[in-house]
Amino acid sequence: MRHCLSYIFVLLLFASCASVGLGGKSKKAASKDVAVNKAKAYDRIITSEAVTKKGLFDVHQVGDKFYFELPDSLLNREFLVVTRFIKTPSGASNYGGEKISENTIIFEKGPSNNLFLRISTLVSSASEDDAISKAVNNSNITPILETFEIKAENEDHHSYLFDVTSFVNSENPLLALSSDAKDDYKLLSLEKDKSYIQEINSFPVNTEIKSVKTYRAKSVSDKRKELPAAILAGVVTLEINNSFILLPKKPMQKRLYDARVGYFASSYLEYGDDQQKVDRNTYIHRWRLEPKPEDSLKWERGELVEPKKPIVYYIDPATPKKWRPYLIQGINDWQVAFEQAGFKNAIIGKEWPENDPNMSLEDSRFSVLRYFASPFKNAYGPNVVDPRSGEILESHIGWYHNLMSLLHSWYMVQAGAVDERARKMQYDTKLMGELIRFVASHEVGHTLGLRHNMGASHATPVEKLRDAKWLEKNGHTSSIMDYARFNYVAQPQDSIPHKDLMPRIGDYDKWAIQWGYSRFPEDMSIKDEKELLSQMVTDSVSANPRLWFGGEGRDFDPRSQTEDLGDDAMQASMYGILNLQRIAPYLKKWTQTSTSDDFANLDQVYKDMVGQYSDYVFHVAKNIGGIYVTPKTMGEEGEVYRPVEKEKQKQALLFLNNYIFKEPKWLLRNDILNAIQSPQSKESVTKTMESVMMNLLGGSRLSRMTFISERYANEDPYLPEEYMDDLSQLVWGDMNVFYQTDAYRRKLQKAYVNNLITLYKPDEAEGLVEGILAKLSEGYTSNTDVRSLALDNLLTLQGKIKRTIPVMTDRLTIAHLNYLKREIESVIGQTREVDPLFIPFRRDISIKEQQGEE
SS3 252: coil
- What pLDDT is stored for residue 843 in this prediction? 42
Q: Is the pLDDT of residue 629 over 70?
A: yes
Q: What sign results for the dihedral spanned by CA atoms 157, 160, 166, 171?
A: negative
Chain-centroid distance, C-alpha 292: 34
- Rg of the chain on CA atoms, in Å: 35
Q: Is the pLDDT of residue 590 over 60?
A: yes
Residues of 17-55 as b/e, b for ≥16 C-beta within 10 angstroms? Answer: eeeeeeeeeeeeeeeeeeeeebeeebeebbeeeeeeeeb
Q: Which of 352, 443, 457 is nearest to 403 (CA)?
A: 443
Work out the pLDDT band at 462, boundaries 50, 70, 90. Answer: very high
What is the distance between the alpha carbons of residues 796 and 838, in angstroms, rounded to a whole number?
12
**Least confident residue range of 58-67, 251-260, 292-301:** 292-301
Q: What sign results for the dihedral spanned by CA atoms 364, 370, 376, 381?
A: positive
Where are the alpha helices (H) located in 720-784, listed in sequence order? 720-732, 743-760, 768-781
- What pLDDT is stored for residue 196 in this prediction? 96
For range 717-735, the mean pLDDT: 94
Biggest CA-to-CA distance, the chain? 143
Helix pair 403-415, 569-583: axis angle to 10 deg:
100
Domain boundaries, the chain: 16-45, 51-246, 291-449, 697-851
**How many CB atoms sit inside 10 A of residue 146's CB?**
18
Q: What is the pLDDT of residues 538-551, one digit of tens each?
A: 999 999 999 999 99
Q: Is the pLDDT of residue 792 over 50?
A: yes
- What pLDDT is stored for residue 275 in this prediction? 63
Work out the burial of residue 133: count CB atoms within 10 Å of its CB; fewer than 13 is exposed, 13-18 middle, 19 or more buried: middle
For range 783-787, the mean pLDDT: 88
- What pLDDT is stored for residue 11 in this prediction? 35
265-271 β-sheet, strand order: 124-126, 265-271, 279-284
Q: Which of 383, 534, 548 is nearest to 481 (CA)?
A: 548
Q: What is the dihedral of CA 833, 836, 840, 845, to 10 degrees?
A: 130
**Which DSSP state fits 818?**
H
367-372 β-sheet, strand order: 347-351, 311-315, 367-372, 396-400, 379-380
- What pLDDT is stored for residue 854 in this prediction? 35
For range 64-86, the mean pLDDT: 95
What is the distance between the alpha carbons of residues 535 and 261, in angstroms, rounded to a whole number?
12
Work out the pLDDT band at 776, boundaries 50, 70, 90. Answer: low
**Average model confidence (pLDDT) across the chain:** 88
Residues of 569-579 as b/e, b for ≥16 C-beta within 10 angstroms? Answer: bbbbbbbbbeb
Q: Which of 85, 396, 84 is nearest to 238 (CA)?
A: 85
Q: What are φ and ψ of residue 201, in 5° steps?
A: -120, 145
**83 compared with 279, residue with greater pLDDT:** 83
What is the distance between the alpha carbons of residues 561 and 845, in angstroms, rounded to a whole number?
32
pTM listed for this prediction: 0.88
Work out the burial of residue 142: count CB atoms within 10 Å of its CB; fewer than 13 is exposed, 13-18 middle, 19 or more buried: middle
Is there a contact between 661 and 730 (Cβ–Cβ < 8 Å)?
yes
For range 332-346, the mean pLDDT: 97
